[in-house]
Structure 1
Amino acid sequence: MADRQYRYAQIIIDISHEKLDRPFTYRIPAALADQVEPGSRVRIPFGHAVRTGYVVELTDSCDLPEDKIREIGEVLLPGQGYSREKDSGFYIRLASWMKERYGATTITALKTVLTSRKTGKPKIRRQIRLLLDRDAAEEKLAFYHQKHQVARERLLRELIGTPVQPYDLITTRLHVGAPVIRAMKQAGVIEVDSYTDLRNPVSVSPDAAERKTLSPAQQRISDAVVESFEAGRPGVTLIRGITGSGKTEVYISIISRICRSGRQAIMLIPEIALTYQTLLRFYRHFGDRVSVINSSLSESEKADQWERARRGEIDVIIGPRSALFTPFERLGVIVIDEEHENSYKNESMPKYHARETAIQIARMRGACVVLGSATPSMESYYRALHGEYRLFTLDERLTGGSLPCTEITDMRMELRRGNRSILSRSLDSLIRDRLERGEQTMLFLNRRGFAGSVSCRSCGFVVKCPHCDVPMSLHRGGRMVCHYCGHQALQPKTCPDCGSPYISPFRAGTQQIETWLQEHFPGARILRMDA
């Protein structure tokens, strides 16, 4: 509810079109004056139809003639699909930044950042509460016994022992029907209360937490992040840690210490990495003060988590990029694990990147950002090397052992040495060696990027669109097409860069690789697994 009553509202219409990408002025009816606030979703007349829109600003004055201003028709209140937040102005400013940053319309940006307002059907539960004191209840119990009102006597006896009981438990275990409950309510003996049951998708006792002692390197990172935050210099920290180096324990330490100061935390994890084991580590540490958002939850379960966050019932939210817009008013830290993952980039408008958006949210909230990866993105690593981010390295595994050896082979050199196979000589030799030992081999094929493109085996040149600078795809008849702008060209017979005749489309897929392996390793048992 607004602190004062305004006369007009600036509203963004829920139509994503650049010509309508501006606020429209509407009059606030007196009956809705205490309900309309920035961020409210409303129904308004627009043209000859009724549309929905978002209130972005409240004003006292307007330059338009009064007879040209139409009134807001309805406010969509909680229970009709949207929950209200005290800090809606923050999300409107964030949407404005997102619009400018990613070239989106205001309405698409608003609907993205206000995603936490969407709700499913809430789960309503009922409970029966005894209204009488013990003496009056005992007297009423004797009366029911005298009148042979067995069901009422049974219910009252249960409530004397436990004054508040779940409605479902009373009707199922005690076999007390609705007419009896209604009669006792009318007599002033009991009351039936309804409440919204906000579910927690995972429940693990915090007593089961494994309190691990951080290594000196881990402790140094945790101390640096927390001390900078407490000194009012939150900033961005990049942790470059090899697999098994204990980055998650550092995250938990940082989150725990910042939450102890009364702040809240968002932990972003790629959807594919949101395993039960990962969640268990956080739930065992934070108990009911942590929750999760992922695609396996129903809309109503997601709504429960947003509402719990809005009420301040949780301190930590874990999830993919959508968890970034959790309605935390006391946000202290955002942790992004596997920050190099492509899944942090939204594929639809606005095409925001969770990392950039997290940094902007942190700036607006006075929070810190922690990025973690064994293979940081080029952008993050560059900024860390140039001092924009703080850089820490974890290069030892907590369990001991060393990283596997990695060998990079230049297939251009293989071709010059007469090897026209799809495998390098080294890989071919290693596969044969493992087969002789009775061991197994896993081959991974990354089809993203240059799949179906035309490239030179001699120099590595890839034919790209002259307008879009993306690889062109080869179609039938030797016709190359850019799938971005539609530019077409014929497949060259020699490499435009080095003149080599070994220029051809790269089309090796998993089926072709499987067939080739069967021909070259006839005694091997081969299994192909496609995503």
Structure 2
Amino acid sequence: MFAEVYVNLGVTKMDHPFTYKIPEELLDVVKPGSEVTVPMRGRNLRGFVMTVEENCAIDEKVVKDIVFAKTPGQGEGEMFALAGFIRQRYGGTLGQALSVVFPSHANATVKTEKIVKRAGNIDKALDELLLKKRHSKYTEKLLSILKDNESILWDDLRQDYDIPSNTIREAEKQGLVSVETHTSLRNPFEKLSLESKRPDISLNEEQSEILGDFLKNKPAVSLIHGVTGSGKTLLYIAMIEQVLKEGKQAIVLIPEIALTLQNILRFYRFFGDRISCVNSRMNPSLRNDQFERARAGEISVMIGPRSALFTPFSNLGLIIVDEEHETSYISEHPPKYHAVEVAVERGRLAGAQVVLGSASPSVNSYFHAVNKDYKLYTLEKRANDAALPTVSIVDMREELKAGNRSILSQKLYSAIKERLQKKEQVMLFINRRGVAGTVSCRECGAVIKCEHCDVPMSLHRDGLLHCHYCGAKKLMVRECPVCHSKLIGTMRAGTEKIESEIKRLFPTAGVVRMDADTTKGAGGFHDIIKAFNNREADILIGTQMIVKGHDFPGVTLMGVLAADLSLNVPDYRASERTFDLLLQACGRSGRGEVKGEAIIQTYQPENFAIVSAAKNDYVYFYREETAYRRLVQYPPFSHMFSVEVTSRTDEGAVAMGDFIVNKLSKAFPALLVSGPNPAPVVKIKDIYRYEVVIKDSDYDKLIEARKLLDEAIAEDGAPKNADLWYDFD
């Protein structure tokens, strides 16, 4: 018997199955879907069996044997189909897609434990031992323990009863006991203790209405649009409880940045050891154990970032994607899949309901809901009837005119001072997402944009401004084209510098900073959260990680520094990202008993994304944003297909980019093709990155274009030593 095996080699030209012989001892194990280890190029590599055949199409003498195989679990056919979807939708190789769906834990170690069991008639053995004048007291103690316990852990005998290992081994030799070795799957929550009484799931009227409709009509995909603090998590818990009653399982996706112990405990209090979690901070062994526990049926709910989506549940009933708008759901590594899209597909394959939740849904998801593809539910009130914070906008251009060049406006400075006097807490959000290279005027707030695409241009090392959408270039400007001010340049905002300034302005306040530097070490992130939550600090300064999913009852003021920075990103979704960040930031204030306040500092106070966030008006934002996108034919009204070309040499990446543009322009003259353009960050880890962007209103045309590229790069004349990664919309 022979097996066709896919191996993840990461090379498009080798994206096909390889033939291996199934040794006799593995005939009962190797099935379609089996994970196997196979020899290739002097190494043993991981692969997946696609088909099993009786005959071999090539010379059997050159066919090697499969080294090792795991029996496929239930539902793995569904996961293979999911890998096919990822390959089709996002490019890359099938081997890479399979490695995403079936994550490898190469460095994982298996924890084992020895169990000592009774062997034969324990009463008789104990009586015979006691008749001997000289006998081991430890053996007598061992048999007495097993008289009351059918089995006991070896380690418990050693640690709790002080029985030497030699005594257990000798008893095993004499046939008095038997020793078995079992694999022990670790529980990340084993040190947590549940409250004696499980909390009640007490829903308000809005939540109850949504749950009732959800259970009655069973929509395939739902979008819950709820204001910050509206109780989406409690509604998720009620939905999960119903799924568990039906004997099914649930997956809850939470962005890694918000995956705190505080958030996990909200679920643990209700479901105890029926839940588990995975995250990037876990070691490979512990992470692997959680997937094995799911496969073995030990748990029913898995919580985690996008990788949790591939939990091997065999009877999946519900997938929840919290904060579905989050960009962290898009993989940064090939294949660059979008977890929301893949969740919808897994739900379809498994017959499971999918629930998306957010206070600021992605434009794409809300568009689907408005067009009845998804069921739309709305939560308009905070769960505890707490008032939303009062939000005000400060025009930093006016501050400059008044001679204030500080990072704080007079209004924000006074508000911080007042809150500190009242012993309340303050958060300061530094909005610097993706601003590298964008050029703006500090006098009027204008941003240098492409004349053809209406997106900010980026300053590159060649001294030119580049558009990443159409490839246009122009010289760096020396004065503002709107107000002619000379105060123009790239934007910079350092968290350390801001921390120093805040400490200078408020010397008696306790100040902590949360950013990539302060959270590097083990426990750094949680230590800062814990300290601030325990009121050990008065002011928390940070980047976007401070606005995601945290609940600090003592915070009554949120200050947003330079709110418009994220508007100045060469990305058509910049307004959407800005609205989301501002809404989430403002929502951190006033979650306790005292009403909150938020102050947004900006050089563009009239921008609709900033105005709508301040008003907490998503519908207004959506209308303005979709009107703009419809006008310029950006998704969801048209479709974009981005091809990222990567190579170890700059010349190799450009050559492949030119090859792609020529192929597509000849085959599809009606398509709008631009590039190759340098990526916003051209070089990462010695890999050069360029982009080709294709645009058309017909999504199927873009799929055809992608298929053409797959065929074209396999041709003999195609440039070598370059890889392609696809991204739709």
Shorter chain as normaliser: what TM range? 0.7 to 0.9
* Alpha-carbon spacing, 1:28–1:525, altered in 2? closer, same or farther (3 Å): closer
Which residue identity is paired with 1:366?
Answer: G
The letter of the residue matching 2:20 is: Y
Corresponding residue for residue 162 of structure 1: 149
Residue 147 of structure 1, CA deviation: 3.1
Structure 2-normalised TM-score?
0.63
**1:500–1:63 Cα change, 3 Å:** farther
The question of whether the paired residues in 2 share the 8 Å contact of 1:103 and 1:350 is answered with yes
Residue 489 of structure 2 corresponds to 505
Between the aligned residues of both structures, percent identity stands at 36
Residues 166 and 529 from structure 1, CA distance in 2 versus in 1: closer, same or farther, beyond 3 angstroms? closer
Matched, 1:120 2:108: yes
Amino acid of the residue matched to residue 21 of structure 1?
D
- Paired AA for residue 184 in structure 2: D
The match for 1:258 is: 243
State the alpha-carbon separation in 2 of the partners of residues 244 and 52 from structure 1. 48
Q: Corresponding residue for 1:149?
A: 136
Equivalence map 1:39-54=2 (5 Å): 39-46=33-40, 49-54=42-47
User: In 2, distance between residues paired with 1:382 and 1:321?
Assistant: 22
Shift of 1:114: 0.1
Q: Determine if contact 2:122/2:146 at 8 Å carries over to the other structure.
A: no
Q: CA deviation at 1:199?
A: 2.0
State which drifts further: 315-324 or 148-157: 148-157
Q: Please tell me the residue identity of whatever aligns with 1:99.
A: R
2:269 is matched with which residue?
Answer: 284
**Is 1:119–1:303's contact at 8 Å kept on the other side of the alignment?**
no
CA distance change for structure 1 residues 101 and 151 in 2, over 3 Å: closer, same or farther? same
Matched to 2:332, the amino acid is: E
Q: Is the contact made by 2:449 and 2:457 (CA closer than 8 Å) also made in structure 1?
A: yes
**Contact residue 30 and residue 49 of structure 2 kept, 8 A:** no
Q: Structure 1 residues 407 and 423 mapped into 2: Cα distance closer, same or farther (>3 Å)?
A: farther
User: 350, 358, 364: which one pairs with 2:349?
Assistant: 364
Q: CA deviation at 1:469?
A: 6.0
- The 3-state SS of whatever aligns with 1:89 is helix
Distance 2:181 2:157 in 1: 15
Any idea what SS the aligned residue of 1:360 has? helix
Count how many residue pairs are aligned between Structure 1 and Structure 2: 508
What CA distance in whole angstroms lies between the structure 1 residues aligned with 2:139 and 2:417?
Answer: 78
Change (3 A) 1:56 1:419: farther
Counterparts of 1:69-468 in structure 2, within 5 Å, are 70-77=63-70, 84-115=72-103, 120-133=108-121, 135-143=123-131, 145-203=132-190, 204-205=193-194, 207-229=196-218, 234-408=219-393, 414=398, 418=401, 427-432=409-414, 435=417, 439=421, 442-456=427-441, 458=444, 460-464=446-450
Gaps of 5+ in 2: 516-729
Secondary structure (helix, strand or coil) at the match of 1:208 reads: coil
Computed over aligned residues only, the root mean square deviation of the Cα atoms, in angstroms, reads 3.5
Give the partner amino acid of 2:197. A
Q: Is the 8 A contact 2:275 2:302 kept in 1?
A: yes
Deviation at 1:522, TM superposition (A): 9.6
Q: Is the 2:75–2:313 contact (alpha carbons within 8 Å) kept by the matching residues of 1? A: no
The residue type paired with residue 245 of structure 2 is R
- Tell me how far apart the structure 1 counterparts of residues 138 and 508 of structure 2 sit (CA, whole Å): 74
TM-score, normalising length: structure 1? 0.84
Deviation of 1:506 after TM superposition, in Å, equals 3.6
Work out the CA distance in 1 between the residues paired with 2:297 and 2:312: 9
Assess if the C-alpha contact under 8 Å between 2:119 and 2:176 holds in 1. Answer: yes
**Structure having the higher Rg:** 1
Q: Deviations over 1:325-363 (max 9, x none)?
A: 100010000111111222212111111111111111000
User: In structure 2, how many angstroms separate the alpha carbons of the residues matched to 1:404 and 1:461?
Assistant: 30
Distance 1:526 1:72, change over 3 A: same
CA positional deviation for 1:431: 2.7
Q: Contact 1:42–1:72 (CA<8 Å) still a contact in 2?
A: no
Amino acid at match of 1:124: T
2:415 & 2:134 partners in 1: Cα distance? 91
Between 1:443-452 and 1:345-354, the stretch displaced more is 443-452
Bigger shift: residues 365-374 or 391-400: 391-400
Structure 2 Cα separation of the partners of residues 17 and 470 of structure 1: 35
Residue 32 of structure 1: which of 18, 26, 32 is its match?
A: 26
The separation in 2 between residues aligned to 1:354 and 1:133, in whole angstroms, is 57
**Deviations 1:2-22 (CA, angstroms, capped at 9, x unpaired):** xxxxx3322223311111112
Q: Is the partner of 1:9 in helix, strand or coil?
A: strand
Q: Distance in 1 between matches of 2:50 and 2:267?
A: 39
Residue 5 of structure 2 aligns to a residue whose secondary structure is strand
2:410 maps to a residue whose letter is D
Conserved? CA contact 2:252–2:319, under 8 Å: yes
Q: Distance in 2 between matches of 1:528 and 1:484?
A: 39
- Aligned residue for 1:529, secondary structure, equals strand
Change in 2 beyond 3 A, CA 1:256/1:501: same
- Say whether the 8 Å CA contact 1:458–1:500 is kept in structure 2: no
Aligned partners of 2:5 and 2:20 also within 8 Å: yes
**Deviation (angstroms), 1:224:** 1.7
**8 Å CA contact 1:116, 1:326 repeated in 2:** no
Partner in structure 2 of residue 58 of structure 1: 51
Letter matched to residue 34 of structure 2: S
Residue 71 of structure 1 aligns to a residue whose secondary structure is: coil
| Range with bigger deviation, 131-140 or 313-322 | 131-140
Question: Using the alignment, how far apart are the partners of 1:267 and 1:424 within structure 2?
Answer: 39
Aligned to 1:472: 458
Give the C-alpha shift of residue 370 in structure 1. Answer: 1.0
CA 1:525–1:119: 2 relative to 1, 3 Å? closer
For 1:264, give the aligned amino acid.
Answer: Q
| Contact 1:435–1:524 (CA under 8 A) maintained in structure 2 | no
Change (3 A) 1:194 1:462: same
Distance of aligned partners of 1:421 and 1:97 in 2 relative to their CA distance in 1, 3 Å threshold = farther
Answer yes or no: is the 8 Å Cα contact 1:27–1:69 preserved in 2: no
Question: Contact between 2:278 and 2:305, CA under 8 Å: does it hold in 1?
Answer: yes
User: Is there any run of 5+ residues in structure 1 with no aligned partner, and where?
Assistant: 1-6, 78-82
Letter in 2 for 1:394: L
CA shift, 1:404, in A, is 1.0
After TM superposition, give the deviation of residue 236 of structure 1 in Å.
1.1
Partner residue in 2 for 1:3: none
> CA, structure 1 residues 188+503, in 2 after alignment: closer, same or farther (shift >3 Å)?
same
Q: 1:441 to 1:93 in 2, by over 3 A?
A: closer
Which residue type is aligned with residue 51 of structure 2? Answer: L
* Whole-angstrom distance in 2 between the partners of 1:70 and 1:228: 54
Amino acid at match of 2:413: I
Give secondary structure in 1 for the equivalent of 2:342: helix
Partner of 1:4: none
Quote the offset at 1:209 in angstroms: 1.6
Matched residue, 2:14: 20
Q: Secondary structure at the match of 2:513?
A: coil
CA distance in 2: counterparts of 1:53 and 1:116, whole angstroms: 8
Instruction: Give the Cα separation in 1 of the matches to 2:466 and 2:486.
Output: 20
SS of residue matched to 2:224: strand
Name the SS for the 2:181 alignment partner. Answer: strand
